[in-house]
Amino acid sequence: MTAQGVASQTGSGPEPPNTPLNQGRPHSARMYDYFLGGKDNYVADREAAAKVLTLWPGVMIAARTNRAWMHRAIRFLAAERGIRQFLDIGTGIPTRPNLHEVAQGIAPDARVVYVDNDPIVLAHAQALLKSSPEGRTAYVHGDITEPGNILASPDLTEVLDLSRPVALSLVSLLHFVPDEWGPYEIVQQLVDALAPGSFLVLSHITPDFDPEATQKTVQVYRSGGIPGKIRTRDEVERFFTGLELAEPGLEVPHRWRTDLAERDSPVETGDVTDEEVSFWAGVAQKP
């Protein structure tokens, strides 16, 4: 799970040390980095991640399976649907290959805008800006709960032409947007701003396969001041209202277009179970 691009977190416990990166409090993007095997995390993140691992031993498999699915989804859009513009909200800490590296590996002229509000992502943003000579990338320090500000950002509008199709990526993000924040309205506002032929790329944790583990995991995040709401298949499918799901529809990530997996990828579908992954994922087009 990762809360990339989500509003500032608040907890009921004592305030952590007043540092720019807020190392004294766990942050979901840094926990996700830990689950992916990264090194951009702190003691508080690792302690919270260890609690999650005791409740949901498959969480590292879930994180890596979800990441591999994102790569396949981007390959599908760039290679099969001709998409050349990508808006990735909830970027998280850079982990190679990043979205632009996957897209530009197929279409060097692809343009990518990343959005996140975590200061540690901002600190690493240069890794997200190393575009191919033919394409462009940009980074917007913005918040998913303020979609209008994201869409109006000059850094976005200088790189993306919203009158042409764009792939909107909301990967492993919306389970950190509780119902009272209006997640469906946020997604609708973002999709409404995109041209016909655009795509929504979305993955979301679910209680459908292992309700006890996933519900207890959410409690660990909440105890660290990180909001969360896991959703059933029907609730996740609602995000795609009015859109046309590409085959195979809303599916667990490890069974979504496995023909697009890279043979040399260190993390791919493998022999994993639905309970370990506990995600729904889909790609859908705006008519």
191 domain residue, yes or no: yes
14 domain residue, yes or no: no
Alpha carbon distance 253, 196 (integer Å): 25
232 domain residue, yes or no: yes
8 domain residue, yes or no: no
**DSSP assigned state of 277:** H
Q: Can you give the pLDDT at residue 263? A: 58
Residues contacting residue 154 through CB under 8 Å, at least 6 positions apart:
none
Per residue in 59-115, pLDDT (tens digit) is 889 999 999 999 999 999 999 999 999 999 999 888 889 999 999 999 999 999 999
The yes-or-no verdict on residue 3 having pLDDT over 60 is: no
Amino acid letter, residue 269: T
Alpha carbon distance 23, 60 (integer Å): 22
Q: Can you give the pLDDT at residue 261? A: 87
Q: In the Cβ-directed half-sphere of 262, how many Cα atoms lie within 13 Å?
A: 19
The residue behind tokens 């952590």 is 16
**Residue range(s) defining the domain that contains residue 221:** 26-284
163 domain residue, yes or no: yes
Q: Which residues of 147-166 are buried (b: 16+ CB within 10 A; e: fewer)?
A: beebbebebbeebbeeeebb
Number of structural domains found in the chain: 1
Alpha carbon distance 52, 41 (integer Å): 15
CA gyration radius for the chain? 17
The yes-or-no verdict on residue 168 having pLDDT over 90 is: yes
Averaged pLDDT of the chain: 87
**Residue 40: pLDDT band with limits 50, 70, 90:** confident
**Residue 22: pLDDT band with limits 50, 70, 90:** low
Per residue in 173-229, pLDDT (tens digit) is 999 999 999 999 999 999 999 999 999 999 999 999 999 999 988 888 888 888 989
Asked if residues 171 and 202 have their Cβ atoms less than 8 Å apart, the reply is: yes
Relative to beta strand 136-141, strand 199-205 is: unpaired
The yes-or-no verdict on residue 249 having pLDDT over 90 is: yes
Amino acid letter, residue 6: V
Residues contacting residue 54 through CB under 8 Å, at least 6 positions apart:
none
107 domain residue, yes or no: yes
The yes-or-no verdict on residue 264 having pLDDT over 80 is: no
CATH code of 235's domain: 3.40.50.150
3 domain residue, yes or no: no
**Residue 27: pLDDT band with limits 50, 70, 90:** confident
5 domain residue, yes or no: no
Asked if residues 166 and 194 have their Cβ atoms less than 8 Å apart, the reply is: yes
Does residue 162 or residue 263 have the better pLDDT?
162
